[in-house]
Structure 1
Amino acid sequence: MSRKTKKGSKKNSQKENIIKIEHELSEYQNFKKEEYTMLFTNYRLKTFSEWPFDGDNSCNPQALAAAGFYHIPTNTEPDATRCFCCYKELDGWEPDDNPWEEHQKHSPHCAFLTLSKSVEKLTVDEFLKLECERQKNKMKKYFHMKKEELKQHAGNVRAEMAKINR
């Protein structure tokens, strides 16, 4: 009797594991392709259609894309860029800025800067290490953003409570 129970438990456990794996795979299959396109220079380059400086300057779309940046313009910051790996955002570019030097200066620990070859030529192991760093940076940026939102909200609540206490 106990032998059947063990087998039955093992079968149920295996079924549960299969269901968990299928769920995780379905989550993986729903990943955002756009998130991964910025790994590749040619996709980053396509984001610079409205870049203010041309190819005659050192701060041109080709150099920025090669240095890991893609263009994220806003109404107030038309030259804003972001690194696909460390998520560092830079704006206020000058025509003679060197994107590699600026990247190194503002984000010296970016894993992309330490690569000795293009992303396309990475081994699976190298790619996974880079992706791990990229995801850590993405989460840091997300949590920092949420922390700032919470601080702002807390300040608003305090102001409202102060009005009530008057």
Structure 2
Amino acid sequence: MKTILTLFIAITLLSCKESNTNSASVMTIEIDGVTHHFKTIDWSRSTVDFGTEVIHIELLEEGNPVSFNLHVHDMGILEKSSGDYTLPDDNKTGPTIYLDFFNKEREGRKANRRIGFAKGDIEIKQLSKDKLDMTFNGEGNGMMETGDLFSIKGHSNVDLQKQ
């Protein structure tokens, strides 16, 4: 009887252990090997602006040192609702898409805390006034840095209707 009780307690404890995965994240950003999960967007500080010449989406989360900033100049994406971009090639004739992040915890000058996505692929699976579903995988660096690029990747699946 003691063995059965011990086995039951062990199974219960293992079943209750929290998972290391973050399935509740609406956005995940990995910059230079450090991963940041967004669970709840702070709509009082975030911006969603579908202008006539540019779409600007800035997303912040309370307590998260990283913010997400997307500028889409390809207004045709609203008709298609999706698009694939390869940087820097797609921005050679003028800005098409610009993605950057601000990391308050990054050391150095404030300008270098803003990290630009300089090279790689951005796939927008869905962009509408209601939703942003995208992935990105590439490299970037601080705005004033000219040295080596570091890895940047992530995804978002955000309901843009402010809660």
TM over 0.5: no
| Structure ranking higher in strand proportion | 2
Normalising by structure 2, we get a TM-score of 0.30
Larger RCO, structure (CA 8 Å, separation 6 or more) = 2
Look at both structures and tell me which one has the larger radius of gyration over its CA atoms: 1
Q: Which has the larger helix fraction?
A: 1
